[in-house]
């Protein structure tokens, strides 16, 4: 016994409970977001909603077979059932009797309802709480430990690490194929590999990731983890590799921020991370390069720059002319630009600060510096004059 204890490395020696939870959340987030990128690109985001709800039926059915809530077979059964859900949705929309959205909308409430009925009639005495299914129990993560190769670590962390590894290998091996079929599925078929096979590969991994994640963090947060970071990354990047990287960064940020906020406020951890994920995505919508706030800022900035360009043009055009004294005179320049005295002075001062304009005290006019003259020539070229 003593020897065994010596050989056993406990993760709790290095990380306290909070750190173990956060580590598990971060690993879960990364595992979800790398698949999430392909889901967002392939317009499959709402399938995660369908999956995370219908998995419950898979768990219930698997429970009837295994009769053991802690069996890993439960997770495998649920994962297979998730793939079946996706297959059923695909089959239903292939009949063309309903649209794809309708197929999603009809299948998953049915499966979820069946699960609720089965739990309430046949499994009443079993601890299968529908609330926990939705909300998850992050707080329980460090209490469910297992020992692997002499290391004792939370069960959820171990499962998620394995899933993360499998997802990483899948994306690395099939990177080119995934890329092509995400952006051009027709070309993918022409190029000779089946995008259908790849699709089911992706969906199988998504399903198993969802099952493992859902066990730890609940159905609602699973959706956020899959779609949120990937959606943010999609708005910010133009290459798939960068998108994957940015989504991982977003995911880590969301998990960390949400986790500590939830701990400080003493509220639901899963809920808080979902809220933070929604907020970062919304901020990205507002602030990305095509975002609405960015657009307002750029318009404002452009207008400002255009006015300064106009001023340089005015100076450049009249500097060598005979009417320079009136057009550019300290006291009279404002009349020729028809601006207010204060605004004219402010804009001129700004150009003087930038080194484009100087005061010529002999002639009592404003004139361009060496740098300003270069800028004047550039503006002329830019505006095609």
Per CB under 8 A, residues contacting another protein are: 40, 43-46, 48-49, 53, 95, 97-99, 101-102, 104-106, 109-110, 112-114, 116-117, 120-121, 124, 130-131, 134-135, 220-221, 223-224, 226-228, 230-231, 234-235, 262, 265-268, 270-275, 277-279, 281-282, 285, 288, 290-292
Q: Which is nearer to another protein, 78 or 227 (CB)?
A: 227
Q: Which is nearer to another protein, 70 or 266 (CB)?
A: 266
Q: Which is nearer to another protein, 273 or 328 (CB)?
A: 273
Q: Which is nearer to another protein, 176 or 289 (CB)?
A: 289
Q: Which is nearer to another protein, 17 or 306 (CB)?
A: 17
Q: How far is the CB of 107 from another protein (least distance, A)?
A: 8
Q: How far is the CB of 53 from another protein (least distance, A)?
A: 7
CA 352 to chain CA mean position, Å: 44
How far apart (Å, rounded) are the C-alpha atoms in residues 154 and 76? 19
Q: How far is the CB of 268 from another protein (least distance, A)?
A: 4
Per-residue 3-state assignment (H helix, E strand, C coil) for the chain:
CHHHHHHCEEHHHCCCHHHHHHHHHHHHHHHHHHHHHHHHHCCCHHHHHHHHHHHHHHHHHHHHHHCCCCCHHHHHHHHHHHHHHHHHHHHHHHCCCCCHHHHHHHHHHHHHHHHHHHHHHHCCCCCCCHHHHHHCCHHHHHHCEEEECCEEEEHHHHHHHHHHHHHHHHHHHCHHHHHHHHHCHHHHHHCCCCHHHHHHHHHHHHHHHHHHHHHHHCHHHHHHHHHHHHHHHHHHCCCHHHHHHHHHHHHHHHHHHHHHHHHHHCCCHHHHHHHHHHHHHHHHHHHCCCCHHHHHHHHHHHHHHHHHHHHHHHHHHHCCCCCHHHHCECCCHHHHHCCCHHHHHHHHHHHHHHCCEEEECCCCEEEECHHHHHHHHHHHHHCCC
Residues 48, 226, 283: CA angle, nearest 5 degrees: 120
CA 136 to chain CA mean position, Å: 21
Q: Which is nearer to another protein, 238 or 361 (CB)?
A: 238
Q: Which is nearer to another protein, 69 or 296 (CB)?
A: 296
Q: How far is the CB of 281 from another protein (least distance, A)?
A: 5
The rounded radius of gyration (Å) of the Cα atoms in the chain is 31
Q: Which is nearer to another protein, 57 or 205 (CB)?
A: 57
Q: How far is the CB of 56 from another protein (least distance, A)?
A: 10
CA dihedral 209, 212, 216, 221 (to 10 degrees): 30
Q: Which is nearer to another protein, 185 or 291 (CB)?
A: 291
Q: How far is the CB of 222 from another protein (least distance, A)?
A: 8
Q: How far is the CB of 197 from another protein (least distance, A)?
A: 23
Tokens describing residue 279: 């907020």
Q: How far is the CB of 87 from another protein (least distance, A)?
A: 16
């Amino acid at each position: 016994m003593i020897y065994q204890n010596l050989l056993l490395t406990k993760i709790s020696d290095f990380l306290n409970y909070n750190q173990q939870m956060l580590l598990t959340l971060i690993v879960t987030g990364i595992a979800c977001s790398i698949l999430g990128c392909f889901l967002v690109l392939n317009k499959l985001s709402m399938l995660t909603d369908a999956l995370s709800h219908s998995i419950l039926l898979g768990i219930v059915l698997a429970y009837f077979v295994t009769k053991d809530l802690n069996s890993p077979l439960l997770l495998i059964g649920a994962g297979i059932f998730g793939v079946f859900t996706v297959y059923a949705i695909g089959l239903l929309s292939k009949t063309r009797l309903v649209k794809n959205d309708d197929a999603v909308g009809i299948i998953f409430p049915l499966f979820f309802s069946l699960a609720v009925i089965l739990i309430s009639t046949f499994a009443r005495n079993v601890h299968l709480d529908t609330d926990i299914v939705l909300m998850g129990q992050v707080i329980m993560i460090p209490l469910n430990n297992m020992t692997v190769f002499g290391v004792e670590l939370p069960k959820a962390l171990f499962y998620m690490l394995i899933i993360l590894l499998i997802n990483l290998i899948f994306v690395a091996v099939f990177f080119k194929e995934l890329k092509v079929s995400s952006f051009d599925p027709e070309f993918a078929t022409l190029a000779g590999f089946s995008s259908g096979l790849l699709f089911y590969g992706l969906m199988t991994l998504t399903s198993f990731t969802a099952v493992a994640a859902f066990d730890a963090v609940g159905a609602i947060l699973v959706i956020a983890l899959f779609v949120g970071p990937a959606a943010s990354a999609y708005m910010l990047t133009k290459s798939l590799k960068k998108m994957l990287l940015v989504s991982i960064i977003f995911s880590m940020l969301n998990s960390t921020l949400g986790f500590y906020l939830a701990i400080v406020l003493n509220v639901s951890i899963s809920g808080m991370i979902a809220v933070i994920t929604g907020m970062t995505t919304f901020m990205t919508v507002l602030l990305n390069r095509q975002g609405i706030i960015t657009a307002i800022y750029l318009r404002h900035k452009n207008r400002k720059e255009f006015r300064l360009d106009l001023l340089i043009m005015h100076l450049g055009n009249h500097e060598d002319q005979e009417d320079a004294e009136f057009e550019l005179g300290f006291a009279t320049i404002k009349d020729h630009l028809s601006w207010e005295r204060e605004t004219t002075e402010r804009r001129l001062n700004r150009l003087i600060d930038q080194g484009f304009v100087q005061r010529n005290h002999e002639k009592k006019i404003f004139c361009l510096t060496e740098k300003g003259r270069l800028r004047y020539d550039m503006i002329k070229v830019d505006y095609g004059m």
